[in-house]
């Protein structure tokens, strides 16, 4: 985190504080369990409900009485301990968590586990019956049952471990430093951990501190707080000890827990702690908002249903067939077990988890930290992004964007890494303007940052002054030196009544003994005080024409959504104001009118340079980007335009009305692609109206919205069946973040509550990172399709042997244990390797998938894998099986119907096709050779399957065989595992493998090649005839 923090800009100081939050214990609990809460969503209006708080109305004495404390001496330590014991520590209780054991058990019964448990149970039942009947091979069933149970338990442990690991990432992310609070107890100032604060404690706060609890201010000096984490308002708000508003949220004499004190100092009394604080209530409310299942969870569930459906129906069907073919019921049960094991891709869910976590890791590198693994894919299916403006789309720092002097507007560079400014700086007016900008400014760089790039230096001061300071530093260099040389003699800081800031300086020119009065402020106020205007360095009278030029420029800059400041100066005549003149700011014994107007500077929080590109990427990817901001509509619209959320050619209803000169009501709403909606309008809208707006307009900006309205917007989008991503940083955003399909919290500026509620955290607060996340999410969806197609294919090759075994009564071609070795051995690494596959085409050029229509496992995928490639594989494997038996003396025709005798333990002289006689064990050993041959053939054909699954549409040659090196690792691992099982462990009887003759490895090879050729033909037709019958039925 240390590295991260150095990147933080001055105005974001308060943002970093959130990272240093205190509740260290059970942070991980909090994150894990937000998802688990099932309470149905309470009305969001609850957020706005009146708070039963009247402490702001009480006088100091009443407060002292109410909380039995003393303003001067604070509580006694004993009393504090008493209250602490009563109220508990001052920390938010983490949401109730599901016990670990429950989570673990959930993994044990989720997905295919139930099916495998049933298999294991059947095994044990069969074992029980057989042991009672005294069958010698009964223990095989016991072992198989144990193996199945082990498989379930191990995959369960694995999934649990993966989940725990991803929550651990979170835990490490939020490593926190315990917060200290300066408290008065027993009449002495003491540092105590903020957690031990109790109601009635007197605390002192200074600029930069995080407010440790809800506090009623008793004393305040120049205190400003940033309430953005609570209310979403980004403007600093002043705090005093006066009761100014009935509503506790609005009154100035209460500071809230988890907000930040930006400047000034204050002393206050703690009036509520921990969960009783406003934040605490909101946090508990947020956890009440129901959480939707992630799209990928729905997809996997759908897939599990398909596979389980196939397994159960084939199992039952063949159970009935077996029984009606006069097989013993016990045998039929054993067949059923085989069918279940063959049908269930045991390793797949683990593979999916690994693939998702690989992508999560990749995304974390790109600054998207995923808390919930499944959210990886959700981002890919996102169709609407509701993005914050400040900090996400913009740089979250005021920057000088335009200048107006000499009757001309100049643009300034607003990029993140500016080092020079290229506008014309030769004019004398600029020299004068730059002097005002430099001198009439109270912001200062924190010392010791000489080597830090200017734009990244930390500044003490408000946002506008910081912008001006940095602007001056970039152009002039050494602002602090200039100020030193132009010593400040007097100063009137900015206040809301004057709306200007003024200072008087000596000049650095030793020959010029005049003082320089510089002033900046609201342009119209400044202009009022001016009688002349500087043009090209010359003072000229401010006539009507000049004033109009000023107005035009002011309007234009204001229209860009920028904050405009006017600058003027006056050289005080030497004779009237000699060296020793006593300037007095209270009596204002110096002129403040008839000044010389120099110019305008306008500032904006400029868009991040990567954002316009990212927005256009979203657009081509079919993702609607909606801006939701608390800012003024004009500013919002300007930023929206500059980043492309509102494209250059789009108009809003108001724009059309203005262009055609007709009233707004007459404009056909369908003509307007863009819409800027004010929070006030939104408040009065019905659901239908909101839906209409969301449907009719493709470019939407919500301005002046409260964070609560975000939730309404999100719900509106979800009604359109959209997968909605929401960004947010404030505490009040958390319900919206939870409601969204994927909540994205800001890593730098985000509050803890937001991070808690989110599924993903943007480490760099940058919108562009979301887009890379979307790309990864889409890629993983495609690749999971490939993985599943790959895995499902061999299930048929595992299933067919059982079916043929039952129907044709041949010796069993492949054993249950062997199947497990494929599912959990050779196939694992290759299926993970598919997660590394590169995209086939530009995935950012297609529309987001439809939640309900574009399934992960669709009919085409299942049918193509099961009924085509799967069957091909079975045929290849059966050929190997028949070859092995035939070359040992058992020709195919002899094998048919042989099963009963073959498996008869007492039949020790069965004749083969050549008249040789075999004992039971000799046959069994041959049967294992058959297993091994079948296994090897499936493995060989799975290599082909792996290669064809690299692409779904493109030819293998287009995709390139070598681009994904992990695939090769997969192939090698597959073959290596097969070799080890076959030759290394061939002598271990329990594993049912035998060393296989080398040539049998090649029997299925022609079929492997056939699989590849067939798939290339399939892809060729798909590319050649898009939209054709073939495309519809063969493309998965």
Residues in 845-864 that interact with other proteins by CB under 8 A:
859
Between the alpha carbon of residue 75 and those of residues 62, 198, 200, 737, the distances in Å are: 16, 9, 7, 40
In the bound state with other proteins, the residue whose beta carbon lies nearer, of 513 and 997, is 997
Short-list 75, 49, 42, 27, CA closest to 273 = 75
From CA 1022, how far away is CA 433, in angstroms rounded? 67
- Six token digits for residue 208: 């930069």
Residues in 149-208 that interact with other proteins by CB under 8 A:
159
Nearest approach in angstroms of CB 303 to other proteins is 8
Short-list 700, 693, 713, 645, CA closest to 674 = 700
From CA 28, how far away is CA 170, in angstroms rounded? 7
From CA 622, how far away is CA 974, in angstroms rounded? 39
808: Cβ–Cβ under 8 A, 6 or more apart, which residues? 896, 897
Nearest approach in angstroms of CB 775 to other proteins is 24
Count of CA atoms in the C-beta half-sphere (13 A) of 976: 9
Site stretch for other proteins (CB under 8 A), options 208-216, 296-304, 318-326, 689-697: 296-304
| Cα 585 versus chain centre, distance | 52
Nearest approach in angstroms of CB 851 to other proteins is 15
Query: Could you say which of 591, 612, 622, 889 contacts other proteins (CB under 8 A)?
Result: 889
From CA 711, how far away is CA 740, in angstroms rounded? 8
Q: Does 679 bind other proteins (CB under 8 A)?
A: no
Site stretch for other proteins (CB under 8 A), options 234-242, 316-324, 579-587, 887-895: 887-895
Nearest approach in angstroms of CB 961 to other proteins is 26
From CA 548, how far away is CA 797, in angstroms rounded? 84
In the bound state with other proteins, the residue whose beta carbon lies nearer, of 577 and 881, is 881
Query: Could you say which of 205, 601, 757, 872 contacts other proteins (CB under 8 A)?
Result: 872
Short-list 21, 40, 474, 581, CA closest to 291 = 40
Residues in 130-149 that interact with other proteins by CB under 8 A:
134
Nearest approach in angstroms of CB 777 to other proteins is 17
φ, ψ dihedrals at 328, nearest 5°: -70, 150
Q: Does 1025 bind other proteins (CB under 8 A)?
A: no
From CA 953, how far away is CA 841, in angstroms rounded? 9
The CA angle 7-9-12, to the nearest 5 degrees, is 115
Strand partners, 566: 521, 600
Site stretch for other proteins (CB under 8 A), options 12-20, 93-101, 517-525, 879-887: 879-887
Cβ(703)–Cβ(637) below 8 Å: yes
Query: Could you say which of 325, 867, 976, 1013 contacts other proteins (CB under 8 A)?
Result: 867
In the bound state with other proteins, the residue whose beta carbon lies nearer, of 295 and 630, is 295
- Six token digits for residue 884: 């092995």
From CA 334, how far away is CA 528, in angstroms rounded? 96
In the bound state with other proteins, the residue whose beta carbon lies nearer, of 258 and 888, is 888
Q: Tell how strand 724-728 and strand 742-746 pair up.
A: parallel
Of 23, 388, 605, 1015, the active-site residue reads 388
Q: Does 298 bind other proteins (CB under 8 A)?
A: yes
From CA 972, how far away is CA 974, in angstroms rounded? 5
In the bound state with other proteins, the residue whose beta carbon lies nearer, of 106 and 953, is 106
Query: Could you say which of 47, 879, 991, 1005 contacts other proteins (CB under 8 A)?
Result: 879
Site pattern 967..996 for other proteins (x: CB under 8 A): ----------------------x-------
Site pattern 356..385 for other proteins (x: CB under 8 A): ------------------x-----------
Site pattern 322..351 for other proteins (x: CB under 8 A): ---------------------------x--
Q: Does 804 bind other proteins (CB under 8 A)?
A: no
Helix residue ranges, H only, 49-192: 60-66, 77-87, 100-109, 113-133, 138-173
Name the maximum alpha-carbon separation found in the chain. 134
Nearest approach in angstroms of CB 997 to other proteins is 8
Site stretch for other proteins (CB under 8 A), options 538-546, 774-782, 886-894, 939-947: 886-894
Q: Does 512 bind other proteins (CB under 8 A)?
A: no
- Six token digits for residue 498: 């004057």
In the bound state with other proteins, the residue whose beta carbon lies nearer, of 373 and 717, is 373
Torsion of CA 924, 930, 931, 933, to 10 degrees: 150
- Six token digits for residue 270: 């703690």
In the bound state with other proteins, the residue whose beta carbon lies nearer, of 435 and 739, is 739
Site stretch for other proteins (CB under 8 A), options 109-117, 334-342, 523-531, 744-752: 109-117
Nearest approach in angstroms of CB 840 to other proteins is 25
In the bound state with other proteins, the residue whose beta carbon lies nearer, of 424 and 859, is 859
Q: Does 878 bind other proteins (CB under 8 A)?
A: yes
Q: Does 887 bind other proteins (CB under 8 A)?
A: yes
Query: Could you say which of 871, 969, 985, 1005 contacts other proteins (CB under 8 A)?
Result: 871
Query: Could you say which of 221, 589, 687, 1033 contacts other proteins (CB under 8 A)?
Result: 1033
Query: Could you say which of 886, 966, 969, 991 contacts other proteins (CB under 8 A)?
Result: 886
799: Cβ–Cβ under 8 A, 6 or more apart, which residues? 314, 339, 342, 343
Cβ(90)–Cβ(200) below 8 Å: no
- Report DSSP letters for 684-728, one per residue: H--HHHHHHHHHH-SEEEEES--HHHHHHHHHHHHHTT--EEEEE
Site stretch for other proteins (CB under 8 A), options 430-438, 687-695, 757-765, 871-879: 871-879
Residues in 275-294 that interact with other proteins by CB under 8 A:
293
Site stretch for other proteins (CB under 8 A), options 216-224, 647-655, 692-700, 875-883: 875-883
Helix (H) or strand (E) holding 818: helix 816-821
Number of C-beta neighbours around residue 656 at 10 A? 18
Query: Could you say which of 71, 364, 572, 875 contacts other proteins (CB under 8 A)?
Result: 875
Query: Could you say which of 10, 427, 464, 888 contacts other proteins (CB under 8 A)?
Result: 888
Residues in 890-949 that interact with other proteins by CB under 8 A:
891-892, 906, 908-909, 911-922, 925-926, 929
Residues in 735-754 that interact with other proteins by CB under 8 A:
none
Query: Could you say which of 997, 1013, 1017, 1026 contacts other proteins (CB under 8 A)?
Result: 997
Short-list 766, 1010, 774, 971, CA closest to 874 = 1010
- Six token digits for residue 187: 């009449």
Query: Could you say which of 15, 94, 111, 461 contacts other proteins (CB under 8 A)?
Result: 111
Start-to-end C-alpha separation, the chain: 43
In the bound state with other proteins, the residue whose beta carbon lies nearer, of 66 and 851, is 851
φ, ψ dihedrals at 226, nearest 5°: -105, 110
From CA 225, how far away is CA 347, in angstroms rounded? 54
142: Cβ–Cβ under 8 A, 6 or more apart, which residues? 123, 124, 127
In the bound state with other proteins, the residue whose beta carbon lies nearer, of 824 and 1005, is 1005
Site stretch for other proteins (CB under 8 A), options 77-85, 105-113, 489-497, 589-597: 105-113
Is residue 842 among the annotated active site residues?
no
Q: Which residues are designated catalytic?
A: 388
Binding site for other proteins (CB under 8 A): 106-107, 110-111, 114, 134, 159, 293, 297-298, 300-301, 304, 349, 352-353, 374, 859, 867-868, 871-872, 875, 878-879, 882-883, 886-889, 891-892, 906, 908-909, 911-922, 925-926, 929, 989, 997, 1006, 1010, 1029, 1033
């Amino acid at each position: 985190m240390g590295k991260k923090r150095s990147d933080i800009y001055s105005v974001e100081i308060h943002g970093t504080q959130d990272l240093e939050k205190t509740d260290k214990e059970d942070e991980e609990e909090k994150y894990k369990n937000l998802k688990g809460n099932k309470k149905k969503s309470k009305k969001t209006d609850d957020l706005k409900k009146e708070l039963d708080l009247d402490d702001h109305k009480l006088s100091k004495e009443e407060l002292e009485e109410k909380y039995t404390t003393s303003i001067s001496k604070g509580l006694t330590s004993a009393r504090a301990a008493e209250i602490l014991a009563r109220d508990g520590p001052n920390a938010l209780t983490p949401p109730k968590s599901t016990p670990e054991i429950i989570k673990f058990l959930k993994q044990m019964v989720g997905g295919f586990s139930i099916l495998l448990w049933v298999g294991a149970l059947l095994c044990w039942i069969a074992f029980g019956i057989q042991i009672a009947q005294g069958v010698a091979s009964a223990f095989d069933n016991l072992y198989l049952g144990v193996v199945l149970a082990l498989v379930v338990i191990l995959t369960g442990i694995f999934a649990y471990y993966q989940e725990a690991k991803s929550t651990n990432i979170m835990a490490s992310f939020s490593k926190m430093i315990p917060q200290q609070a300066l408290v008065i107890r027993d009449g002495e100032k003491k540092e105590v951990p903020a957690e031990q604060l109790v109601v009635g404690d007197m605390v002192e706060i200074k600029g930069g501190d995080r407010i440790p609890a809800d506090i009623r201010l008793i004393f305040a000096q120049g205190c400003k707080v940033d309430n953005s984490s609570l209310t979403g308002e980004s403007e600093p708000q002043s705090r005093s000890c006066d009761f100014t508003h009935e509503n506790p949220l609005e009154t100035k004499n209460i500071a809230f827990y988890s907000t930040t004190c930006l400047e000034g100092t204050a002393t206050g009394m703690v009036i509520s702690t921990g969960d009783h604080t406003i934040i605490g209530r909101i946090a508990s409310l947020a956890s009440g908002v129901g959480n939707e299942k992630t799209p990928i969870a729905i997809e996997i569930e759908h897939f599990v249903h398909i596979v389980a459906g196939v397994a159960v129906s084939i199992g039952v069907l063949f159970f009935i067939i077996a029984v009606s073919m006069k097989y013993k019921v016990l045998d039929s049960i054993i067949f059923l077990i085989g069918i279940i094991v063959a049908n269930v891709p045991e390793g797949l869910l683990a593979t999916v988890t690994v693939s998702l976590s690989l992508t999560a890791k990749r995304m974390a590198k790109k600054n998207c930290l995923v808390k919930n693994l499944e959210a990886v894919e959700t981002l890919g299916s996102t169709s609407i992004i509701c993005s914050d403006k400040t900090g996400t789309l913009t740089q979250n720092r005021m920057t000088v964007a335009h200048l107006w002097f000499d009757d001309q507007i100049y643009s300034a560079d607003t990029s993140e890494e500016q080092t020079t400014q290229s506008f014309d700086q030769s004019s004398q007016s600029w020299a004068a303007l730059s002097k005002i900008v430099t001198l009439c400014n109270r912001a200062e760089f924190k010392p010791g940052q000489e080597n830090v790039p200017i734009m990244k230096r930390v500044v003490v001061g408000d946002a506008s002054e910081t912008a001006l300071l940095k602007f001056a530093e970039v152009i002039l260099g050494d602002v602090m030196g200039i100020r030193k040389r132009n010593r400040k003699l007097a100063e009137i800081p900015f206040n809301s009544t004057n709306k200007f800031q003024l200072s008087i300086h000596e000049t650095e020119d030793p020959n010029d003994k005049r003082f320089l009065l510089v002033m900046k402020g609201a342009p119209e106020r400044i202009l009022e005080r001016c009688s002349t205007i500087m043009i090209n360095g010359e003072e000229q009278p401010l006539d009507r024409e000049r004033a109009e030029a000023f107005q035009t420029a002011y309007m234009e800059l204001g229209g860009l959504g920028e904050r405009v400041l006017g600058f003027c100066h006056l050289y005080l005549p030497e004779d009237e104001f000699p060296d020793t003149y006593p300037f007095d700011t209270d009596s204002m014994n110096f002129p403040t009118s008839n000044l010389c107007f120099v110019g305008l500077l306008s500032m904006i929080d400029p868009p991040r340079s990567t954002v316009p590109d990212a927005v256009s990427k979203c657009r081509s990817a079919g993702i609607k980007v909606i801006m939701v901001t608390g800012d003024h509509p004009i500013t919002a619209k300007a930023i929206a335009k500059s980043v492309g959320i509102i494209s250059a050619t789009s108009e809003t209803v108001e724009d059309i009305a203005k262009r055609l000169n007709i009233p707004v009501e007459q404009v056909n709403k369908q003509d307007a692609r863009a819409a800027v909606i004010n929070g006030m309008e939104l408040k009065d809208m019905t659901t239908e109206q909101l839906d209409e707006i969301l449907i009719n307009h493709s470019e939407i900006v919500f301005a002046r919205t409260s964070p609560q309205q975000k939730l309404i917007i999100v719900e509106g989008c979800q009604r359109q069946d959209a997968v909605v991503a929401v960004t947010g940083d404030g505490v009040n955003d958390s319900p919206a973040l939870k409601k969204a399909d994927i909540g994205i919290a800001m890593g730098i500026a985000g509050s803890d509550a937001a991070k808690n509620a989110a599924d993903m955290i943007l480490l760099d607060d940058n919108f562009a990172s979301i887009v890379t996340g979307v790309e990864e999410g889409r890629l993983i969806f495609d690749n999971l399709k490939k993985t599943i197609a790959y895995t499902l294919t061999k299930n048929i090759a595992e299933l067919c042997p059982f079916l043929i075994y039952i129907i044709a009564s041949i010796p069993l071609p492949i054993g249950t244990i062997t199947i497990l070795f494929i599912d959990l051995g050779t196939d694992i690494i290759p299926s993970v390797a598919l997660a590394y596959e590169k995209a086939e085409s530009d995935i950012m050029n297609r529309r987001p998938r439809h939640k309900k229509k574009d399934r992960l496992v669709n009919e085409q995928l299942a049918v193509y894998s099961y009924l085509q490639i799967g069957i091909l594989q079975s045929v290849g494997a059966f050929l190997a099986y028949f070859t092995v038996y035939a070359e040992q003396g058992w020709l195919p025709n002899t094998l048919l119907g042989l099963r009963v005798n073959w498996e008869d333990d007492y039949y020790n002289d069965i004749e083969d096709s050549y008249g040789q006689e075999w004992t039971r064990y000799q046959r069994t050993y041959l049967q294992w050779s058959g297993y091994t041959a079948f296994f090897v053939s499936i493995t060989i054909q799975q290599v082909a399957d792996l290669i064809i699954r690299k692409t779904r549409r493109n030819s293998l040659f287009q995709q390139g065989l070598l681009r994904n090196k992990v695939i090769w690792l997969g192939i090698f691992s597959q073959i290596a595992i097969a070799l080890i099982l076959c030759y290394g462990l061939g002598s271990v009887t329990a594993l049912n493998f035998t060393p296989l003759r080398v040539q049998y490895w090649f029997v299925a090879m022609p079929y492997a090649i056939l699989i590849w050729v067939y798939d290339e033909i399939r892809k060729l037709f798909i590319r050649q005839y898009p939209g054709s019958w073939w495309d519809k039925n063969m493309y998965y």
